[in-house]
Amino acid sequence: MSYQELQENTLLNAVTSTGAGTGVLAQRCEGWNFIFDASSVTTGASIDIEAEYGDDKWVTIHTEAITATGVTMAQSEEGSYKKLRANVTARTDGTYSVYAQGRLGN
């Protein structure tokens, strides 16, 4: 059995406010998993996964509503991206980390 090599990136690390993380290079990968790790959540947050196009312009490719403490995963089999970032667009409470795992292309 052979395994696909993954690129793993941290998009947000234990954030407690709204706003976007720094974009990370993603252009060598496809087939992304996005992992949302939330703690101390009572009401929650809305977190967008965004892809860069053009020169520092961003488009939302996935929105996750987090309403409880725990880990949630979303997948994107759609195309490859230049850069990815996570953006907490609304938050009432909680601490959030977001990770991205992409399958390295040939």
How far CA 104 is from CA of 20, 32, 38, 44, in Å, comes to 25, 10, 27, 32
pLDDT in tens, 73-88: 999 877 688 999 999 9
Q: The pTM is what?
A: 0.92
Q: How many CB atoms lie within 10 A of CB 41?
A: 18
Higher pLDDT, 97 or 106: 97
Q: How many CB atoms lie within 10 A of CB 56?
A: 8
In order of start, what are the domains of the chain with their CATH numbers? Answer: 6-104 (2.60.120.1110)
pLDDT in tens, 2-42: 567 888 999 999 999 999 999 999 988 888 999 999 999 99
pLDDT in tens, 64-73: 999 999 999 9
